[in-house]
Amino acid sequence: MCAAVTGDLQAIIEDIHRTLKPRLGEGKVADYIPELAKVDPEKFGIAVIDLEGNVFKAGDCDEAFSIQSVSKVFTLTLALGKHGETTWNRVGREPSGSAFNSIVQLEHENGKPRNPFINAGAIVVSDLVMAGHTPREAIGEIVRFVQYLADDATIGIDPAVARSEAATGHRNEALAHFMKSFGKLTHPVDHVLGVYFHQCALAMNCVQLARAGLFLAGNGRNPLTGHTVVSSQRARRINALMLTCGHYDGSGDFAYHVGLPGKSGVGGGILAVAPGRASVAVWSPGLNRNGNSLIGSLALEMLAAKTGWSVFGGP
Protein backbone atom coordinates (compact mmCIF):
# COMPACT_ATOMS: atom_id res chain seq x y z
CA MET A 1 0.00 0.00 0.00
CA CYS A 2 1.25 3.47 -0.72
CA ALA A 3 2.45 5.18 2.44
CA ALA A 4 0.43 8.33 1.83
CA VAL A 5 -2.81 6.37 1.88
CA THR A 6 -1.87 4.54 5.09
CA GLY A 7 -1.24 7.80 6.87
CA ASP A 8 -4.47 9.35 5.67
CA LEU A 9 -6.69 6.32 5.98
CA GLN A 10 -8.06 7.04 9.44
CA ALA A 11 -8.95 10.57 8.35
CA ILE A 12 -10.58 9.22 5.17
CA ILE A 13 -12.72 6.74 7.13
CA GLU A 14 -13.81 9.38 9.61
CA ASP A 15 -14.66 11.79 6.82
CA ILE A 16 -16.79 9.15 5.04
CA HIS A 17 -18.57 8.36 8.29
CA ARG A 18 -19.27 12.03 9.05
CA THR A 19 -20.44 12.75 5.50
CA LEU A 20 -22.86 9.84 5.24
CA LYS A 21 -24.25 9.80 8.78
CA PRO A 22 -27.01 12.35 8.03
CA ARG A 23 -28.33 10.04 5.26
CA LEU A 24 -28.81 6.91 7.39
CA GLY A 25 -32.62 7.11 7.16
CA GLU A 26 -32.60 6.57 3.38
CA GLY A 27 -32.45 2.78 3.24
CA LYS A 28 -35.04 0.26 4.36
CA VAL A 29 -34.19 -2.25 7.09
CA ALA A 30 -35.03 -5.86 6.14
CA ASP A 31 -38.22 -6.90 7.87
CA TYR A 32 -39.00 -10.26 6.27
CA ILE A 33 -36.86 -11.79 9.02
CA PRO A 34 -38.63 -10.33 12.10
CA GLU A 35 -35.51 -10.37 14.27
CA LEU A 36 -33.64 -8.17 11.76
CA ALA A 37 -36.46 -5.59 11.78
CA LYS A 38 -35.58 -4.78 15.39
CA VAL A 39 -32.14 -3.41 14.49
CA ASP A 40 -31.59 0.33 14.87
CA PRO A 41 -31.43 1.83 11.32
CA GLU A 42 -29.05 4.54 12.57
CA LYS A 43 -26.21 2.08 13.16
CA PHE A 44 -23.20 2.71 10.93
CA GLY A 45 -19.72 1.26 11.23
CA ILE A 46 -16.64 0.97 9.03
CA ALA A 47 -13.43 -1.00 9.58
CA VAL A 48 -10.43 -1.27 7.27
CA ILE A 49 -7.52 -3.61 7.99
CA ASP A 50 -4.46 -3.45 5.79
CA LEU A 51 -2.01 -6.26 5.11
CA GLU A 52 0.33 -4.96 7.80
CA GLY A 53 -2.46 -5.39 10.33
CA ASN A 54 -3.18 -1.71 10.83
CA VAL A 55 -6.82 -1.19 11.78
CA PHE A 56 -8.72 1.95 10.78
CA LYS A 57 -12.24 2.26 12.07
CA ALA A 58 -15.15 4.60 12.65
CA GLY A 59 -18.66 4.52 14.10
CA ASP A 60 -20.38 1.35 15.34
CA CYS A 61 -17.56 -0.91 14.22
CA ASP A 62 -17.31 -2.90 17.47
CA GLU A 63 -20.99 -3.86 17.66
CA ALA A 64 -21.97 -7.30 16.37
CA PHE A 65 -24.62 -7.56 13.65
CA SER A 66 -26.14 -10.41 11.65
CA ILE A 67 -23.77 -11.04 8.75
CA GLN A 68 -26.46 -12.94 6.77
CA SER A 69 -25.32 -13.55 3.19
CA VAL A 70 -21.77 -12.36 3.79
CA SER A 71 -21.42 -15.85 5.33
CA LYS A 72 -21.76 -17.27 1.80
CA VAL A 73 -18.14 -16.29 1.10
CA PHE A 74 -16.94 -18.35 4.06
CA THR A 75 -19.09 -21.41 3.32
CA LEU A 76 -18.00 -21.32 -0.33
CA THR A 77 -14.37 -21.28 0.83
CA LEU A 78 -15.09 -24.29 3.07
CA ALA A 79 -16.91 -26.18 0.31
CA LEU A 80 -14.06 -25.57 -2.15
CA GLY A 81 -11.64 -26.89 0.46
CA LYS A 82 -13.65 -30.10 0.79
CA HIS A 83 -14.72 -30.67 -2.80
CA GLY A 84 -12.32 -28.64 -4.95
CA GLU A 85 -13.40 -27.88 -8.49
CA THR A 86 -16.16 -30.52 -8.36
CA THR A 87 -18.07 -27.90 -6.37
CA TRP A 88 -18.90 -26.37 -9.75
CA ASN A 89 -20.78 -29.48 -10.83
CA ARG A 90 -23.39 -28.44 -8.26
CA VAL A 91 -23.47 -24.65 -8.58
CA GLY A 92 -22.64 -22.23 -11.39
CA ARG A 93 -20.40 -19.20 -11.59
CA GLU A 94 -22.54 -16.74 -13.55
CA PRO A 95 -24.24 -13.59 -12.30
CA SER A 96 -27.96 -14.23 -11.92
CA GLY A 97 -29.38 -10.82 -12.77
CA SER A 98 -32.21 -11.81 -10.44
CA ALA A 99 -33.13 -11.10 -6.84
CA PHE A 100 -31.20 -12.94 -4.12
CA ASN A 101 -34.16 -15.19 -3.34
CA SER A 102 -35.40 -15.74 -6.90
CA ILE A 103 -36.63 -19.16 -8.01
CA VAL A 104 -37.21 -18.51 -11.72
CA GLN A 105 -33.87 -19.63 -13.15
CA LEU A 106 -33.93 -22.93 -11.31
CA GLU A 107 -36.69 -24.28 -13.51
CA HIS A 108 -34.81 -23.51 -16.72
CA GLU A 109 -31.51 -24.90 -15.49
CA ASN A 110 -32.65 -28.23 -14.02
CA GLY A 111 -32.44 -26.97 -10.47
CA LYS A 112 -28.75 -25.91 -10.68
CA PRO A 113 -28.31 -22.44 -9.14
CA ARG A 114 -26.49 -19.77 -11.12
CA ASN A 115 -23.89 -18.94 -8.46
CA PRO A 116 -22.99 -19.65 -4.80
CA PHE A 117 -23.98 -16.20 -3.54
CA ILE A 118 -27.71 -16.21 -4.32
CA ASN A 119 -29.83 -18.06 -1.77
CA ALA A 120 -30.39 -21.14 -3.94
CA GLY A 121 -26.65 -21.46 -4.59
CA ALA A 122 -25.75 -20.96 -0.95
CA ILE A 123 -28.22 -23.66 0.09
CA VAL A 124 -26.42 -26.08 -2.27
CA VAL A 125 -23.11 -24.96 -0.75
CA SER A 126 -24.48 -25.70 2.74
CA ASP A 127 -25.37 -29.18 1.46
CA LEU A 128 -21.75 -29.55 0.25
CA VAL A 129 -20.32 -28.38 3.58
CA MET A 130 -22.48 -30.99 5.34
CA ALA A 131 -20.77 -33.91 3.59
CA GLY A 132 -20.12 -36.54 6.24
CA HIS A 133 -21.51 -34.38 9.03
CA THR A 134 -24.65 -34.09 11.08
CA PRO A 135 -26.21 -30.61 10.81
CA ARG A 136 -24.93 -29.75 14.27
CA GLU A 137 -21.37 -30.75 13.31
CA ALA A 138 -21.56 -28.75 10.08
CA ILE A 139 -22.73 -25.64 11.95
CA GLY A 140 -19.87 -26.14 14.43
CA GLU A 141 -17.39 -26.47 11.58
CA ILE A 142 -18.62 -23.25 9.96
CA VAL A 143 -18.37 -21.32 13.24
CA ARG A 144 -14.87 -22.66 13.95
CA PHE A 145 -13.76 -21.82 10.41
CA VAL A 146 -14.92 -18.22 10.73
CA GLN A 147 -13.28 -17.99 14.19
CA TYR A 148 -10.06 -19.29 12.61
CA LEU A 149 -10.25 -16.80 9.73
CA ALA A 150 -10.80 -13.86 12.08
CA ASP A 151 -8.48 -15.32 14.75
CA ASP A 152 -11.24 -14.68 17.28
CA ALA A 153 -12.83 -17.49 19.29
CA THR A 154 -15.59 -15.22 20.62
CA ILE A 155 -17.49 -15.18 17.31
CA GLY A 156 -20.78 -17.08 17.44
CA ILE A 157 -24.31 -17.42 16.15
CA ASP A 158 -27.27 -15.36 17.32
CA PRO A 159 -29.82 -18.10 18.07
CA ALA A 160 -32.76 -15.67 18.04
CA VAL A 161 -31.95 -14.71 14.43
CA ALA A 162 -31.57 -18.38 13.41
CA ARG A 163 -34.98 -19.16 14.96
CA SER A 164 -36.57 -16.13 13.34
CA GLU A 165 -35.27 -17.19 9.93
CA ALA A 166 -36.47 -20.74 10.37
CA ALA A 167 -39.92 -19.56 11.43
CA THR A 168 -40.37 -17.32 8.39
CA GLY A 169 -38.15 -18.98 5.78
CA HIS A 170 -40.90 -20.04 3.39
CA ARG A 171 -39.07 -18.78 0.33
CA ASN A 172 -35.88 -20.62 1.23
CA GLU A 173 -37.93 -23.75 1.91
CA ALA A 174 -39.50 -23.40 -1.52
CA LEU A 175 -36.07 -23.02 -3.14
CA ALA A 176 -34.68 -26.04 -1.28
CA HIS A 177 -37.65 -28.30 -2.03
CA PHE A 178 -37.59 -27.23 -5.67
CA MET A 179 -33.89 -28.11 -5.94
CA LYS A 180 -34.48 -31.36 -4.06
CA SER A 181 -37.12 -32.29 -6.64
CA PHE A 182 -34.36 -32.08 -9.27
CA GLY A 183 -32.11 -34.24 -7.09
CA LYS A 184 -29.76 -31.33 -6.37
CA LEU A 185 -29.56 -31.71 -2.57
CA THR A 186 -28.06 -34.83 -1.02
CA HIS A 187 -29.31 -34.27 2.55
CA PRO A 188 -32.86 -33.80 3.88
CA VAL A 189 -34.19 -30.32 3.16
CA ASP A 190 -34.79 -29.46 6.83
CA HIS A 191 -31.20 -30.43 7.71
CA VAL A 192 -29.69 -28.31 4.92
CA LEU A 193 -31.87 -25.33 5.81
CA GLY A 194 -30.96 -25.72 9.48
CA VAL A 195 -27.30 -25.30 8.53
CA TYR A 196 -28.07 -22.45 6.12
CA PHE A 197 -30.16 -20.47 8.62
CA HIS A 198 -27.48 -20.81 11.29
CA GLN A 199 -24.63 -19.67 9.03
CA CYS A 200 -26.70 -16.60 8.08
CA ALA A 201 -27.21 -15.88 11.81
CA LEU A 202 -23.47 -15.53 12.50
CA ALA A 203 -23.00 -12.34 14.50
CA MET A 204 -19.82 -10.34 13.90
CA ASN A 205 -18.70 -6.75 14.16
CA CYS A 206 -16.97 -4.84 11.37
CA VAL A 207 -13.48 -5.41 12.76
CA GLN A 208 -14.05 -9.17 13.05
CA LEU A 209 -15.55 -9.31 9.57
CA ALA A 210 -12.68 -7.38 8.01
CA ARG A 211 -10.21 -9.70 9.75
CA ALA A 212 -12.07 -12.76 8.47
CA GLY A 213 -11.82 -11.45 4.90
CA LEU A 214 -8.17 -10.49 5.06
CA PHE A 215 -6.98 -13.74 3.45
CA LEU A 216 -8.78 -12.69 0.26
CA ALA A 217 -6.77 -9.46 0.16
CA GLY A 218 -3.56 -11.34 0.94
CA ASN A 219 -3.43 -13.84 -1.94
CA GLY A 220 -5.00 -16.51 0.24
CA ARG A 221 -2.81 -15.87 3.27
CA ASN A 222 -3.91 -14.11 6.43
CA PRO A 223 -0.92 -11.90 7.20
CA LEU A 224 -1.99 -11.47 10.84
CA THR A 225 -1.85 -15.17 11.67
CA GLY A 226 0.55 -16.30 8.94
CA HIS A 227 -1.97 -19.01 7.98
CA THR A 228 -2.34 -19.86 4.33
CA VAL A 229 -6.10 -20.36 4.07
CA VAL A 230 -6.34 -21.04 0.33
CA SER A 231 -4.01 -20.91 -2.66
CA SER A 232 -3.51 -17.56 -4.37
CA GLN A 233 -5.38 -18.93 -7.38
CA ARG A 234 -8.40 -19.79 -5.23
CA ALA A 235 -8.36 -16.39 -3.50
CA ARG A 236 -8.32 -14.70 -6.91
CA ARG A 237 -11.22 -16.83 -8.09
CA ILE A 238 -13.34 -16.19 -4.98
CA ASN A 239 -12.68 -12.48 -5.44
CA ALA A 240 -13.81 -12.76 -9.06
CA LEU A 241 -17.08 -14.35 -7.95
CA MET A 242 -17.60 -11.67 -5.32
CA LEU A 243 -17.11 -8.99 -7.95
CA THR A 244 -19.47 -10.55 -10.49
CA CYS A 245 -22.11 -12.07 -8.18
CA GLY A 246 -21.68 -10.67 -4.66
CA HIS A 247 -24.49 -8.11 -4.85
CA TYR A 248 -27.15 -10.12 -6.71
CA ASP A 249 -28.89 -8.04 -9.38
CA GLY A 250 -26.97 -5.02 -8.10
CA SER A 251 -23.54 -6.57 -8.83
CA GLY A 252 -22.97 -4.59 -12.02
CA ASP A 253 -23.86 -1.37 -10.26
CA PHE A 254 -21.53 -2.17 -7.35
CA ALA A 255 -18.67 -2.94 -9.75
CA TYR A 256 -19.39 0.29 -11.62
CA HIS A 257 -19.45 2.50 -8.55
CA VAL A 258 -17.06 0.74 -6.17
CA GLY A 259 -14.91 -1.57 -8.31
CA LEU A 260 -14.00 -4.02 -5.54
CA PRO A 261 -14.95 -7.65 -4.93
CA GLY A 262 -17.70 -7.46 -2.32
CA LYS A 263 -20.36 -9.53 -0.60
CA SER A 264 -23.45 -8.05 0.98
CA GLY A 265 -26.00 -9.37 3.46
CA VAL A 266 -29.53 -8.26 4.33
CA GLY A 267 -28.29 -7.43 7.83
CA GLY A 268 -26.69 -4.39 6.17
CA GLY A 269 -23.12 -5.64 6.20
CA ILE A 270 -20.73 -5.66 3.25
CA LEU A 271 -17.30 -7.28 3.11
CA ALA A 272 -15.14 -5.71 0.41
CA VAL A 273 -11.67 -6.79 -0.67
CA ALA A 274 -8.94 -4.55 -2.05
CA PRO A 275 -6.53 -7.23 -3.33
CA GLY A 276 -2.96 -6.68 -2.19
CA ARG A 277 -4.05 -3.82 0.06
CA ALA A 278 -6.81 -4.28 2.61
CA SER A 279 -10.03 -5.88 3.76
CA VAL A 280 -12.99 -3.62 4.49
CA ALA A 281 -16.23 -4.22 6.38
CA VAL A 282 -19.10 -1.76 6.54
CA TRP A 283 -22.42 -2.01 8.34
CA SER A 284 -25.52 0.12 7.90
CA PRO A 285 -28.85 -1.75 8.14
CA GLY A 286 -30.87 0.35 5.66
CA LEU A 287 -30.99 -1.48 2.32
CA ASN A 288 -31.41 -0.39 -1.31
CA ARG A 289 -33.93 -2.04 -3.65
CA ASN A 290 -31.54 -4.91 -4.37
CA GLY A 291 -31.23 -5.78 -0.68
CA ASN A 292 -27.72 -4.33 -0.33
CA SER A 293 -26.72 -1.77 2.30
CA LEU A 294 -27.46 1.63 0.78
CA ILE A 295 -25.12 3.73 2.90
CA GLY A 296 -22.59 0.88 3.09
CA SER A 297 -22.35 0.87 -0.71
CA LEU A 298 -21.92 4.65 -0.78
CA ALA A 299 -19.24 4.44 1.91
CA LEU A 300 -17.30 1.90 -0.16
CA GLU A 301 -17.71 4.04 -3.27
CA MET A 302 -16.22 7.00 -1.41
CA LEU A 303 -13.42 4.85 0.02
CA ALA A 304 -12.50 3.45 -3.42
CA ALA A 305 -12.52 6.93 -4.93
CA LYS A 306 -10.36 8.42 -2.17
CA THR A 307 -7.83 5.58 -2.08
CA GLY A 308 -7.72 4.63 -5.78
CA TRP A 309 -8.24 1.00 -4.72
CA SER A 310 -10.71 0.02 -7.47
CA VAL A 311 -9.46 -3.11 -9.21
CA PHE A 312 -10.14 -1.28 -12.47
CA GLY A 313 -7.55 1.40 -11.69
CA GLY A 314 -7.62 5.15 -11.23
CA PRO A 315 -9.54 7.02 -8.53
Catalytically active residues, by annotation: 69, 72, 196, 248, 266
Q: What does the per-residue mask of binding to ligand GLN show for 182-221, with x meaning CB under 6 A?
A: ------------------x---------------------
Q: Is 248 annotated as a binding residue?
A: yes
Q: What does the per-residue mask of binding to ligand GLN show for 215-234, with x meaning CB under 6 A?
A: --------------------
> Is residue 77 a contact residue for ligand GLN (CB under 6 A)?
no
Which one among 35, 50, 158, 165 touches ligand GLN, defined by CB under 6 A? 165
Closer by beta carbon to ligand GLN, 69 or else 239: 69
How far apart, in whole angstroms, are the C-alpha atoms of residue 248 and residue 264?
A: 9
Which one among 6, 10, 98, 101 touches ligand GLN, defined by CB under 6 A? 101
Q: Is 301 annotated as a binding residue?
A: no
- Type of residue numbered 249: D
> Is residue 126 a contact residue for ligand GLN (CB under 6 A)?
no
Q: How far is the CB of 246 from ligand GLN (least distance, A)?
A: 10
Q: How far is the CB of 94 from ligand GLN (least distance, A)?
A: 18
Determine the size of the site formed for ligand GLN (CB under 6 A): 11
Which one among 106, 291, 294, 304 touches ligand GLN, defined by CB under 6 A? 291
Q: How far is the CB of 236 from ligand GLN (least distance, A)?
A: 24
> Is residue 68 a contact residue for ligand GLN (CB under 6 A)?
yes
Annotated binding site: which residue ranges? 69, 119, 165, 172, 196, 248, 266
Residue ranges binding ligand GLN (CB under 6 A): 68-69, 100-101, 119, 165, 172, 200, 265-266, 291
